[in-house]
Structure 1
Amino acid sequence: MADMIVVGGGYVGLAAALAVKQAAPHLDVRVIEAAPAGQWQKDPRASAIIAAATRMLDVFGVWQEIEPQSQPIRKMIVTDSRTGDPVRPVFLTFDGTVEEGRPFAYMVPNVAMVGALLAAAEKAGITILNGVKATGFEARPGEAQLTLSDGSTHTARLIVACDGVRSALRQMAGIKTVTWAYGQSGIVTTVEHERPHEGVAEEHFLPAGPFAILPLTGNRSSLVWTERTEDADRLVAADDLVFEDELERRFGHKLGALRTIGDRRAFPLGLTLARAFVAPRLALAGDAAHGIHPISGQGLNLGFKDVAALAETIVDADRLGLDIGDLGVLERYQTWRRFDTFRMGVTTDVLNRLFSNDNAPLRIARDFGLGLVDRLPKLKTYFISEAAGTAVKSGPKLLAGQSI
């Protein structure tokens, strides 16, 4: 019997396994990943990683490998306009530095992040099974049993579900969710541009939804382009000429000529919040616990916050001789993470509804609000430290750069 089995071998699942194994090497920790071995090397996407998450990756000993492949976000610009407006006034700017030598966020290629975490997990002695899915879950006194798609069964004191927003384990455990769709999809692609971005990220609030330009290494940027679902599907299916013409209307010309590189994909957007983060012998983390709108760029970082809180809960319980899968132990993790997650879910929901429209009175009110924040340095500093995860002083140790 294992001590802990993590279902889902993406960055959140690998980070959860690594956090526990490094702090408690005697525990038998395993990871089950549905994708074949090496599939992660084909992921062209990049993710925004906040300063607090880089501290945790530094504790793991992987950040020094990831950082050279990452692009620091040195400045953030927020605009609010219509697609066809010839001028986009800047209502809000954020300096990207939260402390000496550490920007509030980095853009990290998913390949670099998963590769570094996977290598560290294997070095730590974590068993990783690829190409199998969890098809059955049963909580028993003292253990949980997993049935896999290859017919094998595995037991552990604790199962951690990191298997995505449509989590099969969450459904097997009977955990309900609060869910609704926005009627929007996020188009994700990478563009190459003529001039350097200087590490500046931009969020353009347009009537159909936010259009985010996130800097990558070199003269490249990652886009998260929100459109109504029917329009997003049409754009993704369009030929390159049509797609790039629509892209240029939103992106603008200040970085020169544009060219899309790699795939373009559209993902339906919605809000999904699990009503409980724990059940007997089971803990949810990452998208299995919460899926939010990408308007704030906090989705992955919420998952890393889950990892830090869950790992500290498990390791502290183990050191006290407690059963790490006991529901009473896991309740500490749920208490730690539930409020912050629901607060972020509500915040992104309100922001999306407030800005994804062309209502004139709302536009006047929100632009006044953005301009007011821009004129209050202390408030801006608070917002950027909140976004970077450095505002909370009593959070999990890993997010402060401390070992458990």
Structure 2
Amino acid sequence: MFEERRKKLIGSLNAESNSCAAIFVSNRELIRNSDVLHKFRQESNFYYLSGFDEPDSIILIRPNHTDEYIMFVRPHDPEMAIWVGPRAGIDGVQESYGANAAFPIHTFVEKINELLSEVDDIFYGIGSDQEIDGIITNYLSARQKNSHRGQKGFSSLRDPRPLVENLRMFKSDDEIKALKEAIHITDKGFQVAQSLTKPGLYEFQIQAALESEFRKLGSVRNGYPSIVASGHNSCILHYTTNREKLKDGDLLLIDAGAEYDYFTADITRTWPINGHFSAPQRYIHDIVLEAQQTGIQLAKPGATLDEIHYGVLGVLVRGLIESNILSGAIDELIEKREYQEFYMHSTSHWLGMDVHDVGDYRNQKKAITLEEGMCFTVEPGLYLSAENHKISEEFRGIGIRIEDNILITNDGYVNLSKNIPSSAEKLEELVGSAIN
């Protein structure tokens, strides 16, 4: 799988240049506090190309060379292995990760002159790593300065990340399998969270149950911090404090995704804490659900995320008019963006290794058309702040979002998360089922 991805990248590089090399840098370990580190997660492009899950590493790809795929890694260290476990080391990345050659990471400065001396175009993303940025720019500056002395200059410095990101937009069968498993695990976590929901618990207790199920089923980490937002917190888009007590009569919005084999789900559901929607809550929930289903049904090859967004907007704005939150003609309210006080985000984003995955949304200001293999979310919401006294009191403090994960097929779409209940009736049935 990783070799095939590198071959595709090499094809893209060859289409750009007859003489080039591409450099990718791993993530570094990050200090949490004192001498304690955050748990390491590899930079997604780096892992996509290598499958290598260690920090302080560099990939060098040189199309049309004998040693086409070179890695710089931390050498094996018997003393450190006692404390934190073994490293792959120089031999390990050649034996297990497909490197044609490998060198200690500390030799990168001295080796690049030898390895890049005959290359015209250097593909490296400035901003990838501050230290490596300096090494690359100093090397290229010296090379240009010495070009009049017989050393070959270079033609260009370009960013290779868009080439990888274009590949990542189209999911392979193996990648779709990983996404499906991440969604399946997320489904099971939501079931547990729903079954335990009741007034008097705390948001973090529901989060603990949700994420415990993720771990039990093989997800070693979340794709992003879980949003477990009750009551007025549901109107905060990226609320992750998760400390308030669940109150009778309030809603609970959970936006969470298990990560599996470096691919993440991204699911949102909103349900009543006491197991019964009030009439205003049910009305807003059903408007959001109708909007979402309208948007999903627009998904197909040749369509755009803009079309899905505007399909969703039409339903949401109609619902806001019918509930006397907005007044006027639907098209005019959309044109003037009067809805943004209650729906302030886009309907969709790409999904894959990153929750907000890489890939362009527009090409020369024109929306990218959907193609087979693309995966994205459809996640409309309405957020009626408790502090907004322009709306009827019965609607204040209601925040509802519903989110599913969509894959474009050759003739339409598949809702990968369709088995996760979203209807009000089913949610009411599930809430508190472990208690009742």
TM-score scaled by structure 1?
Answer: 0.25
TM-score scaled by structure 2?
Answer: 0.23
Between the two structures, name the one with larger relative contact order (CA 8 Å, sep ≥ 6).
1
The structure in which a higher percent of residues are strand is 1
